Amino acid sequence: MADLRVNIAGLELANPVLTASGTFGYGIEYADFIDLSRVGGIIVKGTTLHPREGNPYPRMAETAQGMLNCVGLQNKGVDYFCTHIYPQIKDVRTNMIVNVSGNSPEDYAECAARINELECIPAIELNISCPNVRHGGMAFGTTTDGAASVVRAVREAYGKTLVVKLSPNVTSITDIALAVQDAGADAVSLINTLMGMAIDVEKRKRVLSIGTGGLSGPCIKPVALRMVYQVAHAVRIPVIGLGGISNAKDAVEFLLAGASAIEIGTANFLDPTVSVKVAEGIGEYLDRHGFASVKEIVGICE
Amino acid sequence: MKKYVLDLRVTSVESLSERHLLLVATNPSGALPEMCPGQFAQLRIDDSKETFLRRPISIHTLDRTKNEVSFLVQMIGQGTSSLRMKRPGSLLNAVLPLGRGFTMPASAREQFLLVGGGIGIAPLLFMGMEMQRMGIRPTFLLGARSASDLLRMDAYRACGDVYVTTEDGSEGEKGFVTQHSLLQQRRFDRIAVCGPKPMMMAMASYAKKTGTPCEVSLENMMACGLGACLCCVEDTADGNVCVCKEGPVFDIKKLKWQI
């Protein structure tokens, strides 16, 4: 059996499969279905300095091979996370990574500083790319200066592995990736959802409560794959690929494009056990093609 | 309650009307898990090109002796309609049991009224059958557009007293369930409601006026069904909560409905 272990800027993963923020709760929601230690890591729900109620219902619209959501970062804030959620997840035997969001560089930094104190959280994923919050979120992720300012502020407050999640809703995702690399990011993950819209023709109204939402699922995979390829060829830091990955073949495509690890998001809704199946399937692929380690295939696609 | 992803085998598919299916399935790999009335399953949709997600469908009956679970499905869009392609022996992948169900009677003396409208009658048969096992005979108040939309009435009558309304007056009293004369004549210890939102709000209003404890089952659009994606939220006294996890059954006191 091929060696599935990967190292993302000091973060040791048992295999390259992570579960994407906002699609896997705090991991415990899926504990009935899979042994959580069999995924490389779990990126938990987006956490902010202060509690957020999120956007009103409806927050979801089904699309062909995908879905739109405008949840809007509903969470009970970092204090609640530290006191109520962390004790429930700290002993899960995989990397528990917290996705951090905010309204200002100071918010992000303060939230990250609180999580820095949690012994069993080895990394954070900085969400500078949420399309569903009015102030902040994607606003930082769509300019090189904005992205760099948040990353610099967090870098000062946070000593462990810092992954920055990038928005595809930009002219050049490569420029943003280079900017966050220079500002001190240890790795980048991409892509977040693509901004989209759905209209109910019977009601002649937009479906989602705030009108627009983030598109995810297999329909975005080709866009994600192209962006991962471009970014991986431009930056020195590791790239984590996500966007519509539903099976091991999809995951291998991202690895070949240059991702050192991958995240599974929306596919978790269709099959709660898919993350473990993808990890196993990557191993089978490597064995079938005679690779000794998953590292051997990262970025080998010309 | 532990949740499972199961490859069920369909044992029968019965067309009850142009719009309704009764899907019965067994678990070939062991005993079906325990489940409660009001809980639901996320059924994988295999034969529909335009849909993407699973479909949340309430547990209609659970037969522990025959190891069978059934789903009463209203075919609304392409996803639910594609379930008519299932045949005996077909695979039916289900995630279950999900959510929190109805409060069951604490003693055999409690008088329960189970109110269903349209396809909302589905989970109430499971509830009635579970009450029958406890030696309790509930009262059903069931509403439909017309007599042909009243499904499986014999099964309901076998475990409870059934009162009916139809909008066109083709069976039972004419009008909505909330206008049925039974509600003026009798009081109950508890009311369980499942149906269209305006009907549930009207029943909730009746329950509030008469001081009767009342639970309703919501059907907000869901993606994961597990409390992970936070798409199906309802604004409640506890803030936005997931209908799939904290519900689908809610005490009306928790909801912010204007009743």
pLDDT of B84: 96
Q: State how far Cα B230 lies from the chain centre.
A: 22
Q: Give contacts of A34 with chain B, Cβ < 8 Å.
A: none
pLDDT of B197: 96
Residue A280 touches partner B, C-beta closer than 8 Å? no
Range of the domain at B231: 218-259
Q: Read off the pLDDT band of A133 (50, 70, 90).
A: low
Q: Read off the pLDDT band of A140 (50, 70, 90).
A: confident
Residue A65 touches partner B, C-beta closer than 8 Å? yes
CA-to-CA distance for A46 and A59, rounded, in angstroms? Answer: 16
Residue A69 touches partner B, C-beta closer than 8 Å? yes
Residue A16 touches partner B, C-beta closer than 8 Å? no
Q: Give contacts of A24 with chain B, Cβ < 8 Å.
A: 228
Comparing CA positions, the residue from A76, A264, A59 lying closest to residue B221 is: A59
Across residues A4-17, what is the average pLDDT? 97
- B42 and B48 in contact (C-beta within 8 Å)? no
- Tell me whether residue A231 is in a domain: yes
Q: Give contacts of A30 with chain B, Cβ < 8 Å.
A: 226, 228
CA-to-CA distance for B220 and B242, rounded, in angstroms? Answer: 9
In this structure, what token pair is assigned to residue A52? 């957020």
CA-to-CA distance for A56 and A63, rounded, in angstroms? Answer: 20
DSSP letters along B185-231, please?
A: H---SEEEEES-HHHHHHHHHHHHHHT--EEEE-----SSSSSSS--
Residue B98 touches partner A, C-beta closer than 8 Å? no
CA distances in angstroms from B77 to A194, A243, B257, listed in the order given:
26, 27, 28
- Tell me whether residue A302 is in a domain: no
CA-to-CA distance for B256 and B259, rounded, in angstroms? Answer: 9
CA distances in angstroms from A247 to A94, A224, B160, B252, listed in the order given:
21, 15, 48, 42
Q: Is A130 a catalytic residue?
A: yes
Among the options A70, A130, A219, A301, which is catalytic?
A: A130
Q: Give contacts of B239 with chain A, Cβ < 8 Å.
A: 53
My answer on whether B33 and B106 are in the same domain is: no
Return phi, psi of residue B82, to 5°: -70, -15
- Tell me whether residue A1 is in a domain: no
CA-to-CA distance for A269 and A302, rounded, in angstroms? Answer: 33
Q: What is the DSSP letter of A166?
A: P
What are the tens digits of pLDDT across the range A156-165?
Answer: 999 999 999 9
My answer on whether B60 and B93 are in the same domain is: yes
- Tell me whether residue A201 is in a domain: yes
- A126 and A164 in contact (C-beta within 8 Å)? yes
My answer on whether B211 and B107 are in the same domain is: yes
| A25 vs B44, B227, B233: nearest CB | B227
- Tell me whether residue A176 is in a domain: yes
- Tell me whether residue A58 is in a domain: yes
My answer on whether B185 and B144 are in the same domain is: yes
My answer on whether B205 and B222 are in the same domain is: no
- B105 and B131 in contact (C-beta within 8 Å)? yes
For residue A134, is pLDDT > 60? no
Residue B54 touches partner A, C-beta closer than 8 Å? yes
Residues of chain B with pLDDT under 50: none
Number of independent structural domains in chain A: 1
Q: State how far Cα A177 lies from the chain centre.
A: 15
* Sign of the alpha-carbon torsion through B91, B92, B96, B97: negative
My answer on whether B206 and B227 are in the same domain is: no
Residues in chain B: 259
Q: What is the DSSP letter of A56?
A: P
Residue of chain B minimizing CA distance to A213? B231
Q: Read off the pLDDT band of A138 (50, 70, 90).
A: low
pLDDT of A27: 97
Interface touch B51/A62, C-beta < 8 Å: yes
CA-to-CA distance for B54 and A272, rounded, in angstroms? Answer: 11
What are the tens digits of pLDDT across the range B186-238?
Answer: 999 999 999 999 999 999 999 999 999 999 999 999 999 999 999 999 999 99
Interface touch A59/B230, C-beta < 8 Å: yes
Report the CATH number at residue A243. Answer: 3.20.20.70
My answer on whether B81 and B8 are in the same domain is: yes
Q: Give contacts of A200 with chain B, Cβ < 8 Å.
A: none
Across residues A227-241, what is the average pLDDT? 98
pLDDT of A129: 77
| A57 vs B229, B234, B245: nearest CB | B234
CA-to-CA distance for B204 and A291, rounded, in angstroms? Answer: 63
pLDDT of A17: 98
Query: Which of B76, B98, B120 delimits the end of a domain?
Result: B98
DSSP letters along B9-41, please?
A: EEEEEEE-SSSEEEEEEE-TTSPPPP--TT-EE
Q: How many CB atoms lie within 10 A of CB B133?
A: 10
My answer on whether B201 and B225 are in the same domain is: no
Residue of chain A minimizing CA distance to B3? A32
HSE toward the beta carbon, residue B115, CA cutoff 13 A = 29
Kindly report the nearest CA distance between residue A50 and chain B, in angstroms. 15
Amino acid at A65: Q
Query: Which of B81, B98, B115 delimits the end of a domain?
Result: B98
Interface touch B226/A53, C-beta < 8 Å: no
Residue A203 CB partners (closer than 8 Å, separation 6+): none
Comparing CA positions, the residue from A89, A195, A96, A95 lying closest to residue A142 is: A195
pLDDT of A168: 96
HSE toward the beta carbon, residue A266, CA cutoff 13 A = 30
Residue B48 touches partner A, C-beta closer than 8 Å? no
- Among A60, A89, A132, A207, most B C-beta atoms within 10 A, so best to mutate, is A60
Residue of chain A minimizing CA distance to B240? A53
Partners of A293 in the β-ladder: A3
User: Does an H or E element contain A277, and which?
Assistant: helix A274-288
pLDDT of B42: 98
Interface touch A22/B229, C-beta < 8 Å: yes
Residue of chain A minimizing CA distance to B234? A57
CA-to-CA distance for A125 and A185, rounded, in angstroms? Answer: 10
Range of the domain at A91: 6-297
Comparing CA positions, the residue from B25, B2, B41 lying closest to residue B225 is: B41
Report the CATH number at residue B29. Answer: 2.40.30.10
Query: Which of B62, B78, B98 delimits the end of a domain?
Result: B98
Q: Read off the pLDDT band of A132 (50, 70, 90).
A: low
Report the CATH number at residue B241. Answer: 2.10.240.10
What are the tens digits of pLDDT across the range A43-79?
Answer: 999 999 999 999 999 999 999 999 999 999 999 999 9
Distance between start and end Cα atoms, chain B? 33
My answer on whether B152 and B65 are in the same domain is: no
Q: What is the pTM of this model?
A: 0.96
Kindly report the nearest CA distance between residue B45 and chain A, in angstroms. 10
- Among A34, A44, A89, A270, most B C-beta atoms within 10 A, so best to mutate, is A270
What are the tens digits of pLDDT across the range A142-193?
Answer: 899 999 999 999 999 999 999 999 999 999 999 999 999 999 999 999 999 9
Number of independent structural domains in chain B: 3
